[in-house]
């Protein structure tokens, strides 16, 4: 059983009274410690695929399973409860401080302010941008915004991280840094699914797939057995 | 001079003046997977050929330290201006050859207009081969044969790999649409 699984997922959007089939019978598995990248051209449905995989958008048909359980049958989403998601661009109000944005998810879950602050700081440190904590979101450049968004997802200690185009808009010479960070997070045992439009995300992926015409092509299941982390994930001290 | 090994060794000398064994280790690390040569004697052969053509020249390496005293100095090579000029011309010719082969493949696929299903099968396999190709990996510090920090050549190769991959996926998508249209037209033409 894979950590995250899409089973024969179908999804359509309605644009100006026209129904457009975005995903057709898409199946995909992502396992512990895997970095899986999906390349697609503009309007290929890659963002929809990720939103469905993260449980943000329900599929029209098929199922999305996290740890073997149907996300839609759980009556909601596993977001923040095992699944982390980063959409494109900066999340949160642009006038908010970075540290406040990163810890917001923890405060919403009842974590005390000092503990949330400490964990947010750890998360920023893990992605290498602890220096940005006191800046406001609107002042970040594209690479910094992505790293802060990843920190905001990591702070909730996800087992699966779904990231929509992490290198979009990022300076050409700064993209590798982001991909290498994702690689290192996967090496620590987090299952990572990213979309990609410029090829950067494909570089260090364990599996690369393409999404064209609503169909996913490539190796849809892990090639090796599940990786067994050296430590139990639930007991990790580091974020 | 037709040997790609000779030209590649010239490129390594241009990158950094050096001696035979060091050039061999750099050759192995940077090109071992795409241009296997098996033995370092091929590098020495290339150096002889390049020197005979005036593309590189031998310089005397000053002996340093007590360990070097009394030992024969290693032949050290650097590129000449003629070597640099010839190398640039060869690199451009290689890029043209690469483009020519790509066009050849695209046109040869066009011969399958009467067998679009076969063409779609080829595209499927070609796409999978591209997806499986790890040539675009981001270069990181490696331990072969000693600790190696990736250089400009590694980064350029990685960026080239990923850009070609994306362009190829875009072309495969287009070609697939063409052949799928032919498949759907087929019954009507009977």
pLDDT tens digits for range B126-142: 999 999 988 888 888 87
CATH code of the domain in which B33 resides: 1.10.10.10
Strand order in the sheet with B75-79: B18-19, B75-79, B56-60
CA distance A123 to A151: 5
Q: How confident is the model at residue A76 (pLDDT cuts 50, 70, 90)?
A: low
Same domain, B78 and B8: yes
Within a domain: B106 = no
Within a domain: B95 = no
Within a domain: B96 = no
Helix, strand, coil percentages in chain A from 3-state DSSP, rounded to 5: 30, 25, 40
Name the strand (E) or helix (H) holding B106: helix B81-110
Residue closest to A149 by CA, chosen among A79, A190, A89: A89
Residue that is written with structure tokens 């699984």 in the block? A5
DSSP B27: H
Within a domain: B145 = yes
Note whether A210 contacts B: Cβ–Cβ < 8 A. yes
Helices (runs of H) and strands (runs of E) counted in chain A: 5, 10
Domain edge (last residue) among B29, B64, B85:
B85
In 3-state terms, what secondary structure has residue B24? helix
Same domain, B12 and B65: yes
pLDDT tens digits for range B25-34: 999 988 988 8
Interstrand relation of A160-163 and A83-86 (parallel, antiparallel or unpaired): parallel
Same domain, B8 and B73: yes
Same domain, B178 and B124: yes
Answer whether residue A238 shows pLDDT above 50. Answer: no
For residue A130, say if its preceding peptide bond is cis, omega within 30 degrees of 0. no
Same domain, B76 and B21: yes
CA A221, distance to chain mean position in Å, is 18
Q: Of B20 and A74, which is predicted with more confidence?
A: B20
Within a domain: B37 = yes
Residue closest to A53 by CA, chosen among A3, A13, A89: A3
Which chain A residues are closer than 8 Å to B127 by Cβ? 210, 217-218
Residue closest to A7 by CA, chosen among A23, A27, A24: A27
Within a domain: B148 = yes
Determine the distance in angstroms separating the CA of A161 from the nearest CA of chain B, rounded to an integer: 21
CA distance A57 to A45: 13
Number of domains forming the structure of chain B: 2
DSSP string over B121-178: HHHHHHHHHHHH--TTPPP--B-SSS-B---HHHHHHHHHHHHHHHHHHHHHHHHHHH
Same domain, B23 and B68: yes
Tokens encoding A106: 């923890």
Same domain, B40 and B81: yes
> Do A39 and B166 make contact, defined as CB atoms within 8 angstroms?
yes
Within a domain: B61 = yes
Size of chain A in residues: 239
ipTM for the assembly: 0.82
pLDDT at B121: 95
CB contacts < 8 A (A, B): 57
Q: Domains in chain A, ordered, with CATH?
A: 4-90+158-217 (3.40.50.300)
Domain, as residue range, for B150 = 115-185
Q: How confident is the model at residue A16 (pLDDT cuts 50, 70, 90)?
A: confident
Residue A95 burial (CB count, 10 A): 9
Within a domain: B56 = yes
pLDDT in tens, chain B (190 residues): 889 999 999 999 999 999 999 999 999 988 988 898 888 899 999 999 999 999 999 997 666 655 555 667 778 999 999 999 999 999 999 999 999 999 999 999 999 999 999 999 999 999 999 999 888 888 888 776 678 788 898 899 999 999 999 999 999 999 999 999 999 987 654 4
Which chain A residues are closer than 8 Å to B162 by Cβ? 198-200, 202-203
DSSP A130: G
Note whether B88 contacts A: Cβ–Cβ < 8 A. no
A176, A199, A217 ranked by CB distance to B127: nearest: A217
In 3-state terms, what secondary structure has residue A184? helix
Determine the distance in angstroms separating the CA of B155 from the nearest CA of chain A, rounded to an integer: 10
Residue closest to A226 by CA, chosen among A34, A7, A36, A4: A34
Phi, psi of B39 (to 5 degrees): -135, 150
pLDDT at A234: 44
Tokens encoding A222: 């892990």
Same domain, B79 and B22: yes
């Amino acid at each position: 059983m894979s950590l995250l699984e899409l089973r024969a997922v179908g999804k359509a959007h309605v644009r100006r009274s026209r129904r457009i089939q975005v995903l057709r019978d898409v199946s995909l598995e992502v396992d512990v410690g895997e970095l899986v990248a999906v390349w697609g051209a503009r309007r290929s449905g890659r963002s929809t695929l990720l939103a469905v995989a993260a449980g943000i958008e329900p599929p029209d048909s098929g199922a999305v399973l996290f740890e073997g359980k149907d996300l839609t049958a759980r009556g909601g989403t596993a977001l923040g409860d095992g699944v982390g998601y980063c959409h494109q661009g900066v999340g949160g109000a642009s006038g908010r401080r970075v540290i406040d944005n990163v810890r917001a998810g923890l405060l919403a879950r009842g974590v005390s302010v000092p503990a949330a602050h400490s964990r947010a700081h750890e998360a920023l440190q893990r992605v290498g941008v602890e220096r940005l904590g006191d800046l406001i979101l609107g002042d970040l450049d594209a690479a910094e915004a992505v790293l802060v968004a990843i920190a905001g997802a990591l702070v909730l200690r996800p087992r699966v991280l779904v990231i929509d185009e992490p290198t979009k808009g990022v300076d050409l010479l700064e993209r590798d840094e982001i991909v290498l960070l994702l690689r290192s997070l996967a090496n620590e045992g987090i299952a990572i699914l990213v979309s990609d439009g410029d090829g950067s995300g494909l570089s260090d992926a364990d599996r690369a797939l393409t999404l064209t015409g609503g169909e996913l092509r490539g190796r849809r299941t892990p090639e090796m057995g599940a990786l067994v982390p050296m430590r139990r994930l639930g007991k990790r001290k580091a974020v | 001079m037709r040997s790609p090994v000779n030209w590649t060794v010239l490129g390594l000398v241009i990158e950094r003046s050096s001696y035979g064994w060091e050039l061999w280790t750099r050759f192995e690390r940077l090109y071992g997977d795409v241009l296997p040569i098996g033995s370092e004697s091929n590098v020495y052969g290339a150096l002889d050929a390049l020197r005979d053509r005036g593309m590189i020249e031998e310089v005397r390496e000053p002996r340093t330290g007590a360990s070097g005293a009394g030992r024969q100095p290693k032949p050290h090579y650097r590129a000449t201006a003629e070597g640099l000029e010839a190398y640039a011309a060869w690199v451009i010719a290689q890029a043209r050859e690469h483009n020519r082969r790509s066009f050849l493949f695209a046109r040869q696929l066009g011969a399958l207009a009467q067998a679009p299903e076969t063409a779609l099968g080829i595209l499927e396999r070609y796409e999978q081969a591209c997806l499986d190709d790890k040539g675009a990996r981001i270069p990181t510090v490696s331990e072969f044969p000693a600790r190696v920090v990736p250089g400009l050549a590694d980064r350029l190769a990685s960026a080239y790999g990923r850009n070609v991959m994306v362009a190829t996926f875009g072309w495969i998508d287009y070609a697939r649409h063409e052949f799928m249209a032919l498949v759907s037209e087929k019954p009507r033409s009977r």
